[in-house]
Structure 1
Amino acid sequence: MAKDYKTQKEDFVSNLTGGSIGDIIAVTAVVPISIIAWSALQARHQFFAKYTAIPFAVDFFLNVGAVLLATTLYSPNPLLLDILLLSPAIILSYFYTIPTKKKAKPPQAKKVTASETSLDPLPRKPFLTIYRGCMMIITCLAILAVDFPIFPRRFAKVENWGTSLMDLGVGSFVFSAGVVAARPVLKEKISGKYTTLGSRLYSSLRHALPLFVLGLIRLWSVKGLDYAEHVTEYGVHWNFFFTLGFLPPFVAIFQWAFQLIPSFEVLAFLLAAVYEIVLDNTDLKAFVLTAPRTDLFSKNREGIFSFIGYLSIFLAGQGIGMAVIPRNISPKEPTGSVAQRKKLLITLVTTSVVWSLLYVATTHYYGLGLTVSRRLANLPYLLFVAAFNCIQTTAFCAIETFYFPEVYKATDKKTEERNYSHATSRIMTAYNRNGLALFLVANLLTGLVNLTVPTLFVEDAVAVGILLAYGGVITGLAVLLDVYDISIKL
């Protein structure tokens, strides 16, 4: 008897084993390479200074289209796409100049008498906006692309053990949320006015409530519309919005622990290490992976226990945020100095190396010999996600430092804001500004496409067309909200 379409869809995303780390690196390398191309156009030729239709189209191709191509048409050989993008970027940077009557100059910092204290101690930084924006773009594209055959199964979420692009994407979404969550902690540290645990919990619950509502809406829609679902991902009733919703109150509790152990990275590692010890020395691992689903708790065991791992990932992101968000990395160096930027790069490189070495130590045959599991969100998964995100952030910071050195040299707020806009893709800014709202829209559109299109049987050319249109709608909405200065807080 032929399987019904829902069962075929569930089988399509089940029992997958992922791909290699090298393959993931080759695919994700398209993002920093695209940023290099964008930066070369802007820094050397002021291409995006007047943001009309053509600059928008190029911006869309580099920051949205390139990701889509890497995960679909160029997925058999992503390195070819990397080379095709990097080659013109190098030419634009060094060998080709657009003939103009008068060469345009990037905005320069003005000499003003204002004191350094007039500058925001926690400024917006282009490389962080780009990092957050690209994570959102990849996530939004992947949640629909995975339903089409043109999206390789090695990129889809792994069943139990292994690494994949989408597993990395889920963790990176949480990690990037942790990065920006460092801002209120830093504000308290600067002001010296610390809120009580009760106040933090109350505030965190207010932020969590909309996420729980979204989780309930998704649960109702999936069950009510008989939508295909992958139960072993989070459980029968749990979904990613519930995981996001539980993060704020638990993070508020760990902020108290931060006073005892003043390093979110250490807190993250200790939490994941204790969780790993419990997994390896009790029946918990077997319970999560193989136990029958007899009650509400066992039916949602993946979501409940993987939350521990996601919490550790969020804390690791906060640790990076504590280092990269402040204007002054080192109080010994003057504000806006080259030495400050060098210190920032050294900090990022060091953190990337540490997380990477810990990952190798826990997964290598001569180390602990553990295997990454997104389903468990175990210790190797934390290290995998943290290492990757730190390396990506380092790459974006290095690109900004090379192409836009004026960004960190501003001496007044107006110049700093102008430099920020000059060095940041409008699309990346828009995605970063309303990320969670756009993620919700992406989920709704994904559901709409799956309910109206038999994605399993769509030809590759048609699939790419649908995905381009889908990416265009979300990107257009993001830019439109940004143009009208609308921020949707969820």
Structure 2
Amino acid sequence: MSRAAEQAIKASYKALKEDFVSNLTGGDISEINYVTAVAPAAVVLWSALQSRQNFFRPYTPIAFAVDFLLNIGAILLATTLYANTPILLSILLIAPVAIIYSLPKPPTPKKAKVPPKQTKDEAPNPLPKKPFLTTYRGAMLVVTCLAILAVDFRIFPRRFAKVENWGTSLMDVGVGSFVFSAGLVAARPILKEQLAGKTTPLGTRLYQSIRHSIPLLVLGFIRLYSVKGLDYAEHVTEYGVHWNFFFTLGFLPPFVALFQSAFQFIPSYAGLAILLGAAYQIALEFTPLKAFVLIGPRTNLFNKNREGIFSFIGYLAIFLAGQHTGMFILPAHSSSGATGIKQRKSLLLKLAAWSGIWILLFFLTFSYSYGLSLAVSRRLANLPYFLWIAAFNNTQILAFCLVETVFFPQAYKHGHLTRKEEDDVYKGSTSRVLEAFNRNGLAVFLVANLGTGVVNLTVNTLEVGSLGAMGILMGYAVCLTGLAAGLDVYDISIKM
């Protein structure tokens, strides 16, 4: 076969794959909710096993295998073999809980005598690690890492793939959730400043944010040159010709630092996010911006990357919405100083209220009968997309918080525990697998991208049947989990 013929076949296959991984309208929002509800259902079963039978202590190889099957395998099944029946999978996961509670509870091991709970020099931790947040972030990363490879196989439904222009899909909610989650944890340093009564000058904030951005931008350029050099299949309407998700993540910190100054005038990150999202939507509707992004020419560097540049505004609004949520769920105590069940009830009510607010705002922009009739567009990262992501993530966090409240009441008695006791409760209430994914999330996500590339360069994924696809995806999941768990076991945290 001549070189020209080989290149023609390669180009044809690349075009076929681009068409295969793209989607026109995505799926239905309710179906996405059913699929993503599998993760909380799996956590319910995990929590029942741990709280009732203390199954994951000690953490034996069998415990690790069950942890993997529940928190990784269930999500993989929900997006592949059970994609059409996610409710059935959730029922199958929750059903054994009744059996677990009918079994006799194992005897509680005797504890060694410990010193008094609180020493004079040890104050309660104002920003403790919370199991339900680790579970939420870990599950979100698992879904994201599995989907970026699964989408290349026919076993992964096309309606779950990223949409072309308008619509909703599982992968669209995944990329937005990644940014929301990053914003949530970015509230921690701000809260530390407030607790210390300090204010970092704008110049210092910008310098620190740029230092944080450099590794992400480097990763963006590495991905750019690897994709172009290997002639890897890509869809330019996702972010543009050269832009990629790492560039979006890399440019967020400096702009967030600027918006911290605006917080002095509008003391609400949710308010800032809504104003930014609304202003961007007004520009889309009443200027030629929407037409430029969707059908404009690609004549220069700016035009070629218009999707990534302008969608950045929407992702910045999502990040700020995540910060808003982090500001009230990360602290150990409520403003009234209440602890224990009163504080947890207050947190649940606040999460429920904000979930309702975001859902209502989304409904008012999205509804054809009672709202503005605006379509969701991940490509534009427009106002409905931003509100959808904020509503979805607040609701997911509420679900995981409810599970923790029911099964692990000791996890929110922060004011009555020493740091050591608090750490012990955290470990007993958190999946080691999800903790490992959460701890080195960005590093694992980077390796997942590399693994996806390796699989696509070595396997014609479009021709792999269901059995072969599940084998490859399960092997890929095992490798990612092994990496994350290995880093956790050796106490390694890779910060980017």
Q: Tell me which interval the TM-score lies in, with the shorter structure as reference length.
A: over 0.9
**Structure 2: which 5+ residue stretches go unaligned?**
1-7
> Using the alignment, how far apart are the partners of 2:337 and 2:437 within structure 1?
35
The residue that corresponds to 2:50 in the other structure is 42
The residue that corresponds to 1:145 in the other structure is 150
> Using the alignment, how far apart are the partners of 1:380 and 1:369 within structure 2?
10
The residue that corresponds to 2:257 in the other structure is 252
Pairing partner for 1:340 from 338, 343, 361: 343
Query: TM-score with structure 2 length normalisation?
Result: 0.95
Counterpart check, 1:359 vs 2:362 = yes
User: Deviation string for 1:279-336 (max 9, x for gaps)?
Assistant: 0011000000011111111110000000000000000000000000001122342xx3
Q: Is the 8 A contact 1:116 1:411 kept in 2?
A: no
**Which residues of 2 match residues 34-113 of structure 1 at below 5 A?**
34-92=42-100, 94-97=101-104, 100=106, 102-103=107-108, 112-113=117-118
Q: How many residues align?
A: 485
Query: TM-score with structure 1 length normalisation?
Result: 0.96
Counterpart check, 1:412 vs 2:415 = no
Counterpart check, 1:391 vs 2:395 = yes
Residue 262 of structure 1 deviates from its aligned partner by 1.1
Task: Tell me the amino acid that sits aligned with residue 233 of structure 1.
Answer: E
Cα distance, 1:107–1:389 mapped onto 2, change above 3 Å: farther
My pick for the range that moved more, 409-418 or 455-464, is 409-418
The residue that corresponds to 2:491 in the other structure is 485
Q: Is the 8 A contact 1:16 1:153 kept in 2?
A: no
Cα distance, 1:252–1:387 mapped onto 2, change above 3 Å: same
> Using the alignment, how far apart are the partners of 1:339 and 1:278 within structure 2?
44
Task: Tell me the amino acid that sits aligned with residue 130 of structure 1.
Answer: T
> Using the alignment, how far apart are the partners of 1:317 and 1:242 within structure 2?
19
Cα distance, 1:28–1:273 mapped onto 2, change above 3 Å: same
> Using the alignment, how far apart are the partners of 2:20 and 2:113 within structure 1?
53
Task: Tell me the amino acid that sits aligned with residue 308 of structure 2.
Answer: G
Pairing partner for 1:6 from 2, 5, 14: 14
Residue 107 of structure 1 deviates from its aligned partner by 12
Q: Is the 8 A contact 2:134 2:434 kept in 1?
A: yes
Share of identical aligned residues, percent?
63
The residue that corresponds to 2:208 in the other structure is 203
- Structure 1 stretches of 4+ moved >4 Å: 103-111
> Using the alignment, how far apart are the partners of 1:173 and 1:108 within structure 2?
43
SS at match of 1:118: coil
Q: Is the 8 A contact 1:75 1:152 kept in 2?
A: yes
Q: Is the 8 A contact 1:108 1:415 kept in 2?
A: no
Residue 111 of structure 1 deviates from its aligned partner by 5.7
Residue 137 of structure 1 deviates from its aligned partner by 0.6
> Using the alignment, how far apart are the partners of 2:173 and 2:64 within structure 1?
28
SS at match of 1:377: coil
User: Deviation string for 1:426-451 (max 9, x for gaps)?
Assistant: 01111111000000000000000000
> Using the alignment, how far apart are the partners of 2:98 and 2:291 within structure 1?
52
Pairing partner for 1:381 from 366, 382, 385: 385
Counterpart check, 1:16 vs 2:19 = no
Counterpart check, 1:474 vs 2:480 = yes
User: Deviation string for 1:188-219 (max 9, x for gaps)?
Assistant: 11101111100000000000000110000000
SS at match of 2:95: helix
> Using the alignment, how far apart are the partners of 2:411 and 2:111 within structure 1?
10
Cα distance, 1:104–1:462 mapped onto 2, change above 3 Å: farther
SS at match of 2:475: helix
> Using the alignment, how far apart are the partners of 1:256 and 1:189 within structure 2?
14
Pairing partner for 1:401 from 401, 405, 408: 405
Task: Tell me the amino acid that sits aligned with residue 92 of structure 2.
Answer: L
SS at match of 2:371: coil
Cα distance, 1:266–1:370 mapped onto 2, change above 3 Å: same
Residue 103 of structure 1 deviates from its aligned partner by 4.5
**Which residues of 2 match residues 202-241 of structure 1 at below 5 A?**
202-241=207-246
> Using the alignment, how far apart are the partners of 1:260 and 1:485 within structure 2?
41
Q: Is the 8 A contact 1:178 1:314 kept in 2?
A: yes
**Which residues of 2 match residues 381-460 of structure 1 at below 5 A?**
381-409=385-413, 410-460=416-466
Residue 130 of structure 1 deviates from its aligned partner by 0.6
User: Deviation string for 1:140-162 (max 9, x for gaps)?
Assistant: 00000000000000000000111
Pairing partner for 1:368 from 372, 385, 392: 372
Counterpart check, 1:162 vs 2:167 = yes
Pairing partner for 1:127 from 111, 123, 132: 132
> Using the alignment, how far apart are the partners of 1:105 and 1:458 within structure 2?
53
Task: Tell me the amino acid that sits aligned with residue 17 of structure 1.
Answer: T
